[in-house]
Amino acid sequence: MRTLFRNIRIFDGTANPARPGTVLVEGNRIAAVAYAPEALTPAPGDRIIDGGGTATLMPGMVEAHAHLTWGSSVEKIYHQFILPRDELKIAAWRNARVLLDHGFTSAYSAGGLADGIEPELAAAIAAGETPGPRLLPSSIERSPDADDAGDIFNGRGPEAMTGFVAHCAASGAKIVKLMISGEDALVPGSAQNVCYTPAEMAAAQSSADAAGLWLTAHCYWPEAIHLALNHDVRVLYHCSMADAASIDAMAAKKDAIFYAPGPGVSVAALEASPPPHIDMSAMKTSATERLALEAKLVPALKARGVRILIGGDYGFPFNPNGRNARDIALFVELYGFTPLEALAAATGLGGELMGLEVGQIRAGYLADLLLVDGDPTVDVAILQDADRLIAIIKDGAFHKAPASAETVGA
Residue 408's pLDDT is what?
Answer: 67
Peptide bond into 17 cis (omega under 30): no
Task: Report pLDDT for 145.
Answer: 72
Per-residue model confidence as pLDDT tens digits over 71-106:
999 999 998 888 999 999 999 999 999 999 999 999
Q: What is the pLDDT of residue 148?
A: 47
- pLDDT on residue 366: 98
pLDDT value of residue 211: 97
User: What value does the CA radius of gyration of the chain take, rounded to a whole number of Å?
Assistant: 21
Q: Where are the domains of the chain?
A: 3-59+357-407, 61-324
pLDDT at 97: 98
> Could you tell me if 236 and 261 are in contact, meaning their C-beta atoms sit under 8 angstroms apart?
no
Say if residues 134 and 125 touch (Cβ distance below 8 Å): yes
Residue 150: what pLDDT?
A: 52
Measured CA to CA, the distance from residue 272 to residue 261 in angstroms comes to 20
Rounded Cα distance between 357 and 354, Å, is 8
pLDDT digits (tens, 9 = 90+) for 178-232: 999 988 888 888 888 899 999 999 999 999 999 999 999 999 999 999 999 999 9
Separation CA 124–CA 132 (nearest Å): 9
- Say how far apart CA 329 and CA 319 lie, in whole Å: 15
For the chain, list residues with pLDDT below 70: 146-150, 408-410
CATH assignment of 61-324, among 3.20.20.140, 3.40.190.10, 3.40.50.300, 3.20.20.70: 3.20.20.140
Structural domain 3-59+357-407, CATH architecture: Roll (2.30)
Rounded to whole angstroms, how far apart are CA atoms 4 and 406? 10
What CA–CA distances, in Å, run from 382 to 112, 225, 323, 339, 377?
29, 35, 12, 12, 10
Q: How high is the pLDDT of residue 409? A: 59
Output the CA angle 121-125-127, nearest 5 degrees.
115
Q: What is the pLDDT of residue 81?
A: 84
